[in-house]
Amino acid sequence: MSNVKSCLLVGVGGQGAILISKIMSNGFMKAGYDVKQSEVHGMAQRGGSVSTQVRWGDKVYGPVFGKGEADILVALEKMEAVRYAEFLKPGGVAVINDYAIKSTTIASGAEEYPEGCIEAMQANFNTIAIPASQIALDLGNPKCMNVVLFGAMCDSLGCPQIDWEQVVADTVPEKVRELNLRAFRAGRQAAQQLILLHSAPPAVCCHPVPAPHCPR
């Protein structure tokens, strides 16, 4: 079981976490790994918090893992990264879309959107935060944000033998293949440029910074 890796995908209903998990599962299976993927948990309708888990290795006995066991946390919305941060291992990698979606309670004025979400994650984990939603918008279709974020995370999966660009091409519908390939390349490049700016990964804080309150 020591070679089994775990990834937690989180976001808001309608953001496309399912496609990321499908791309991951397809790539790992083609590479010969045993893969288990959980159902989507949470309020899958637009606006609700959702999560799904993917695990891969020589032999995986189930898709579900607990707090402190995820090697990678992928957050399609930055407040969701903080909400699920306790699932990451010390030294784990957080890949975050630097984008805010106001919940119903926040939009109504009953709560305020928390400040410092990205900073709290950077203080505690190796963090790659990119403006995936803006990159997708610049590409002409905000719906490809999820594939932008997958591009940003793929090198953190530790499987250089997998041609992730080809996996994306094989997974998405033909009519949107070229768009999604451009999204994948843009996200990967954004993450690589961000990593180059830091000669070493961010240090993991021994004393966790208090996380902002995350209403949704």
Q: Which residue ranges make up each domain of the chain?
A: 5-196
The tens digit of pLDDT for each residue in 67-102 reads: 999 999 999 999 999 999 999 999 899 999 999 998
User: What integer is the mean pLDDT of 28-33?
Assistant: 96
pTM: 0.88
Residue 42's beta-bridge partner residues? 50
Residues 6+ apart with CB under 8 A from 58: 3, 4, 33, 34
The second-level CATH assignment, the architecture, of 5-196 is 3-Layer(aba) Sandwich (3.40)
Whole-number Å distance between alpha carbons of 200 and 135: 25
What is the pLDDT, as a whole number, of residue 209? 43
Q: Which amino acid is at 96?
A: I
Question: Which pair of structure tokens corresponds to residue 31?
Answer: 């590479």
Cβ atoms within 10 Å, residue 91: 12
pLDDT for the residue numbered 41: 75
Computed on alpha carbons and rounded to an integer, the radius of gyration of the chain in Å comes to 16
**pLDDT above 70 for 202:** no
